[in-house]
A and B are shown apart, each in its own frame.
Chain A
Amino acid sequence: MNFGILVNEGPYQHQASDSAYLFAKAAIEEGHTIFRVFFYHDGVNNGTRLATPPQDDRHIPNRWSELAKENNIDLVLCVAAAQRRGMVDPDEMKRNNKDADNIAEKFRISGLGQLIEAGIQADRMITFGD
C-alpha cells in the first residue's frame, strides 16, 4: 500500500509527529511505501533546521530528514502555514525578502494541492494531530 500521512502539530508540543514517524517507519518495515508526508498547521515546524533538543532526547526534525533520505520520502510543508509561522526555504527567502532560511534537509515547501493530491493518489490517508 501507498500511504499519505498528514501531520498537524509541531515537534515536541504534541505526540502527533512522534506517532506519525513511528507509523511511517512501521509501514516501511512492512514493505509499504509512503506517497507523501504533508505538514499542516503547526506541523510545519517539524521542518526546522535550527532545533537543538537535549542530547538525550530524540531529534524530531532530523529523524524525519533521515527517514526521508533513506526511503526517498516526500516531506512537504504547506506554504501558507509555513509563511504564517516563519518556516522559510531559500526560494521563499528570496520571494519574501527574508534575511534567512531555516528549512531542514529533505523538506520542501509547497501548496495545499500536494495534500489533496496525496488524498487522491495514496491508498490510505492517515492524520496525526491534536
Chain B
Amino acid sequence: MLHTVNKSPFEKNSLETCLRLAEDNSSILLIEDGVYGALQNTSFESSITNAQKTIKLYVLGPDLKARGLDKSSLISNIEIIDYKEFVKLTVENDKVQNWL
C-alpha cells in the first residue's frame, strides 16, 4: 500500500497514526505540509528513523521546494520524488490510503 500524509506532525497526529497503522513493506509519501515530517533534528525524527526499518519513505519535491527545504534538511534515506513518480508509486502499489 502507498500511504500519503499531508499534514505536519507538529500540527496533527496524521503521520503518527499512519506510522502506527502502516504495514511493513508499505511506502509513505509526505506531501503538502506533511513534508515537515521529513526534517532532521526534530522531536519527530526518531519515529521516522524507526519506521524506516520496515517502511520506505518518500517526500514530494515540489512541496519541499515551496517550503524552502531541500535534501540537506532531510533525514537520510528519504527519497525526493516529483509528481510523475508520485503517479508511478500509485500504480506500483495495489492501493492508496491518504491520511488527512
A contacts, CB < 8 Å to B: 1, 3, 8, 15-16, 19, 22-23, 25-27, 29-30, 32, 124-130
B contacts, CB < 8 Å to A: 4, 6, 31-33, 62, 82-84, 86-88, 90-91, 95-96, 98, 100
Are A26 and B83 neighbours in the complex by a CB distance under 8 Å?
yes
CA distance A106 to B98 in the complex (A): 26
4 nearest A-B pairs in the assembled complex, by CB-CB distance: A26-B83, A127-B98, A129-B100, A15-B32
Are B32 and A124 neighbours in the complex by a CB distance under 8 Å?
no
CA distance A35 to B33 in the complex (A): 27
Q: Which residues of B contact A27 (CB under 8 A)?
A: 87
**B37 to A: closest C-beta gap in Å:** 15
Given A15-B6, A19-B6, A124 and B84 contact (CB-CB distance below 8 Å): no
Are A130 and B84 neighbours in the complex by a CB distance under 8 Å?
no
Given A1-B91, A19-B31, A126 and B83 contact (CB-CB distance below 8 Å): no
Q: Which residues of A contact B98 (CB under 8 A)?
A: 126-129
The residue from B33, B82, B90 contacting A126, defined by CB atoms under 8 A apart = B90
